């Protein structure tokens, strides 16, 4: 079946550090890939997405590139801020036009940024 | 700006009680979903609905039911709450310009069953 593996953390960094959160996936086809973020006390919200190989999603200084050869979608940010502290979820949807019932989520990575 | 509203943020119930979790969205989305979120397990889909009066089982429907009498409202029902249903419950919807696979979530309902 389809699955998403990501580092669970917590990941603790100092402000302005470089961030990488690894995400790898297993899927029987060519999925769309997503990063969602959950700030404290809130629901999840879409951070970025990529729908085909070599696509780069970006938003709020975060980037992730769809790497088919390594089945990965690692999240990066050049200089993190305290306000980036949150839980980050990697997800895939096997069918690019499919509904959200086809979404498979990773277990989430808790990121803590210290001033 | 609020788009998906879960009426109860925190609930404490006793084993065997019937529990209703309400969710309302104001985006005219066709599709609505209920997930539960547990530490170390991530998000798991309980039920979803693609239309009024329509429901489909997700990955973990046991012990739950749902109701969708109006397009904007999707209710999760625990007929007889048990302690293993203590969790964070997240409602979400999709549709419109964002597309069918981009979820808009509510803030969550944290349920404790004693």
pLDDT in tens, B5-38: 998 999 999 999 999 999 999 999 989 999 999 9
Task: Tell me if B100 and A43 make a contact (CB, 8 A cut-off).
Answer: no
* pLDDT recorded at residue A66: 96
DSSP E strand stretches across B3-72 = 4-6, 10-13, 19-21, 23-25, 31-38, 42-49, 56-57, 65-70
Find the CB nearest B41 among A101, A103, A107: A107
For A71-104, what is each residue's pLDDT tens digit? Answer: 999 999 999 999 999 999 999 987 655 566 678 8
Top mean-pLDDT range of A29-33, B10-14, B93-97: B10-14
* pLDDT interval class at B87 (50, 70, 90): very high
Q: What is the DSSP letter of A67?
A: B
Q: Does A51 touch chain B (CB under 8 A)?
A: no
């Amino acid at each position: 079946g389809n699955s998403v593996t990501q580092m669970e953390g917590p990941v603790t960094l100092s402000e302005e550090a470089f961030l990488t959160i690894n995400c790898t996936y297993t899927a029987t086809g060519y999925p769309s890939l997503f990063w969602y973020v959950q700030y404290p006390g809130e629901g999840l919200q879409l951070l970025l997405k990529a729908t085909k190989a070599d696509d780069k999603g970006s938003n709020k200084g975060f980037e992730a590139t769809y790497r088919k050869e390594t089945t990965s979608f690692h999240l990066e940010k050049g200089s993190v801020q305290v306000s980036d502290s949150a839980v980050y979820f990697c997800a895939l949807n096997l069918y690019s036009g499919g509904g959200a019932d086809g979404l498979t989520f990773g277990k989430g990575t808790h990121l803590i940024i210290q001033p | 700006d609020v788009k998906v509203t879960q009426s109860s943020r925190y609930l404490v119930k006793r084993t065997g009680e019937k529990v209703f979790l309400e969710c309302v969205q104001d985006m005219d989305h066709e599709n609505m979903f209920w997930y539960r979120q547990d530490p170390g397990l991530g998000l798991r889909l309980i039920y979803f609905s693609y239309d009024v009066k329509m429901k489909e089982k997700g990955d973990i429907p046991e012990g739950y039911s749902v109701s969708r009498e109006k397009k904007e409202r999707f209710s999760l029902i625990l007929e007889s709450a048990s302690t293993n249903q203590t969790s964070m419950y997240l409602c979400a919807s999709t549709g419109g310009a964002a597309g069918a696979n981009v979820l808009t979530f509510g803030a969550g309902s944290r349920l404790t069953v004693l």
